[in-house]
Structure 1
Amino acid sequence: MKKHFTLIGSAFVAVVLLVACKREYIVGGDVHDVNMYKNVSTYDVLKKFPEYDTLVQLIDAGNLQEAINQNNSTFFAVNNRSIFAYLNARTIFLQNTVDQNKKFLLDSLIYYIKNNINNTRDSLLMYLVPNLQVNPDGVTQIGNIYPSALNGSRIIVSFEETVTANDGYYSNISTIPRLLYFTQLWKPYQIGQDSTAAAVPPATGIRTRVKTSFINTQNGVLNALNTATLFYYGQRVN
C-alpha cells in the first residue's frame, strides 16, 4: 500500500523516498494513506488546510473551481506565504514608482483576478496541468515538459535524486530519495541528458521544489509547492 508521512494542519509536508517495492512519503508526522483524499475534489482538499485559504479565495474570485477540478488534471498549489510575498513585492514596486503610501493588498489582487486585469486570472492556470495525472512512475530525473493550462505556457516536472541528509538520505539506504520539482519556463527549452530540469538557466525558467507530492484526489493529483512568490513576480530574469 502506498503511504506518506505528512503534518496535518497548517500544511502538507512530504519528501518522496522509494524503499523496496513500496512507496512512502517521509518527513515527520503520522502515516497516512496516499489515497486518503481520493474521494475529495482537489478544490475541496485545498479548503481543508488553512495554509491554502488565500489560494482558495483567489480560485473563487476567478471562478476557477471547475478548472481546478477537471478530470485527470494535476495541480501545483501555492501557499499563503507565496501570495503574501507577491502582495509585498507589488507594494514595494508601487511605493518606489507611484506613491510611497500605496499598498497592493489582497483585496486589490482579488479585484485584479475577478476582472482578469493584466491576465491575472489566467496566470493562476500556470499551476495547472490539464489532461495529465503526474505520477512518480511517469516523471523522470531529467524532467518532462508539459503544457500548462495557461495559454502558451510550458512547465517542467522533474523527479530528482538527492543525497542530502535533511531530505531523507543516509549512507545505508537501499534506494536514493527523490524530490519533485516544478519549473516554470519563460523561454523554449529542450530537455536532454546535458540540458536537464536542474540545468535550466535563470533567464529560461525558475524552479520550485514540491514539498508534498502525488496526492491523489477525486479528479486528479495535487502537489504542494514550497514557498515561492506567486507568479514568480519580480523573480524573472530577462
Structure 2
Amino acid sequence: MKNNIIIVLAAFLVSAIAISGCKKNDYKNDGGKSNPYVNMTTYDYLKSNPQFDSLVKVIDRAGLKDVVNSNITFFATTNYSIVPYVAAKKNQVAIQTGNENFNFGIKDIPAQELSDSLKTYMFQGVINRDQITLDGKLYNSLLGPIPNVQYLIKFRRSFEYNSYLDHVDYVTYTKVRGTRDDQEPNQDAIPKDQKDLSDDVQTSGIITKTGVVHVLSGYHRLFFNAQPLGN
C-alpha cells in the first residue's frame, strides 16, 4: 500500500514539475533529486543541463566559474528565471535611448553587476536539507554584509498533498529586507518596499564534487528583478 501511495504522489508531482520546466525523471516528491550525488563539479553539472544554459552564460560573463566550483551552496536559477530578467534590462535601455530595435543579451550587461548580484545566490559551505529547519536561519551571501538585507533559508511546510502524506517541506530562499516578515505581528503594516522576497526551491540537495546546488522555481525572476518587460 505504501508503494502505491508513493507512485500516485509521484505521478501527480510530475505534472506540477513539468510546468516549472523540469525533467520529470530527475526529481522526487520532496523536492530533492532522486540520486543527489553528481560526479561532476558544480559548473560542469550546470553546463551539462540545457535548463541552465543561460545561467552558465551569466556565470561566464561574471567571471565566477572558480567561485561556483568552490565549497559553496548555490541557489541556481533556470532559463525561465533569466529570460525575463534580460528582457527587462533590454527594456530599460530602450526607454533610456528611445530605441527599441537593437540586439541585447547577457553579454551587454556589465560583468561587475552580474558578479555582485549572482553572489547573492551563493553561501559559504554546505547548507543542505539536514541543516535547514522550519524556523530557518539568516545568512550573509558571498557578496558579504549588505545594509538592511540578509538571506533566510528555511523550510516551508505544505499540506497540499495531505491525502497521501502528512506534509511536504519545500526549501525556500528569501531576501529579508529589514526584519523578517514572518516574525512581524502585523504583516499588513509592512511597507511594500520592505516586504521580504521569497521563492521555493524546485529541486533541493544536489551534491556535486565541489558543493551543493538547490534549483529555484522557474517562477523566480533573476535577482528578484521587478522591472517591466516592455510591450
* Corresponding position: 1:123 with 2:117: yes
Helix, strand or coil: the match of 1:151? Answer: coil
CA distance in 2, matches of 1:137, 1:111: 39
Deviations 1:199-222 (A, max 9, x none): 9x6524210110000111111110
Residues 205, 51 of structure 1: CA spacing in aligned structure 2 closer, same or farther, 3 A cutoff?
Answer: same
* Corresponding position: 1:145 with 2:142: no
In structure 1, stretches of 5+ residues that fail to align are 18-23, 27-31
Aligned to 1:34: 36
Residues 140, 123 of structure 1: CA spacing in aligned structure 2 closer, same or farther, 3 A cutoff?
Answer: same
Deviations 1:17-50 (A, max 9, x none): 3xxxxxx848xxxxx3222x0x311111101111
Alpha-carbon deviation of 1:95?
3.1
TM-score by length of 1: 0.72
Aligned to 1:184: 175
Which one has the bigger helix percentage? Answer: 2
Which one has the bigger strand percentage? Answer: 1
Deviations 1:118-137 (A, max 9, x none): x332111111011x211222
Deviations 1:163-221 (A, max 9, x none): 11xxxx23353x42111111123x332587x359x99x652421011000011111111
Deviations 1:25-81 (A, max 9, x none): 48xxxxx3222x0x311111101111101111111122211111112x100111112
Aligned to 1:94: 93
Helix, strand or coil: the match of 1:33? Answer: coil
Q: Is the 8 A contact 2:32 2:205 kept in 1?
A: no
Deviations 1:63-104 (A, max 9, x none): 211111112x10011111211101111223333343142557
CA distance in 1, matches of 2:29, 2:155: 9
Alpha-carbon deviation of 1:151?
2.7
CA distance in 2, matches of 1:139, 1:184: 16
Alpha-carbon deviation of 1:155?
0.9
Provide runs of 4+ in structure 1 moved above 4 Å.
5-8, 12-16
CA distance in 1, matches of 2:101, 2:58: 22
Amino acid at match of 1:76: F
Residues 62, 93 of structure 1: CA spacing in aligned structure 2 closer, same or farther, 3 A cutoff?
Answer: closer
CA distance in 2, matches of 1:133, 1:141: 17
Amino acid at match of 2:47: K
Q: Which has the higher contact order (CA 8 A, sep 6+)?
A: 2
CA distance in 2, matches of 1:91, 1:219: 34
Residues 126, 103 of structure 1: CA spacing in aligned structure 2 closer, same or farther, 3 A cutoff?
Answer: farther
In structure 2, stretches of 5+ residues that fail to align are 1-9
Corresponding pairs, count: 201
